[in-house]
Amino acid sequence: MTEGQLNELGAAAAAALPELHDEIYGFRPEETRAWTDSSAILLVVRTRACTADVAGHSRASTLAQLHLAVADAVFLRSGEMLRTRDRRIDVERGLMVLAFERSSAEDLVAARAPELREPLADAS
């Protein structure tokens, strides 16, 4: 994947996030920025959601839900898979940070489901 293509994926993630944020938290973030490098995408989001509670859910589980929703939205828009990586909330600064890594279906199967890999030809 070229740097330009990865930048497009970062832009797709940044474009999807405000609507998803609105669905989960009930309001849009103040600002969203995407940075890309190699196969990584980093989204930095300025939002008051860092201190907002969503009924019945912890901040961590709500952030995880948003993280996965962004990866799903990018897949639906581009056909490219993103693996969710680290995520952080900085309450004092009102920032969320979501990290992603571009991945292929084969990479996900290899990492998550070793039992689904094809056996070696000479395995007995």
Instruction: Inform me whether the pLDDT recorded for 122 exceeds 90.
Output: no
* pLDDT value at 117 more than 60: no
Q: Which of 41, 38, 59, 39 is nearest to 50 (CA)?
A: 59
- Residue 118 is encoded by which pair of tokens? 């094809």
Residue-wise pLDDT tens digits, 54-80: 666 777 888 899 999 999 999 999 999
The pLDDT assigned to 107 comes to 67
pLDDT digits (tens, 9 = 90+) for 28-62: 999 999 999 988 999 999 998 776 666 667 778 88
pLDDT at 106: 67
Architecture of domain 3-114: 2-Layer Sandwich (3.30)
Q: With 0-12 CB in 10 A as exposed, 13-18 as middle and 19+ as buried, what is 87? A: middle
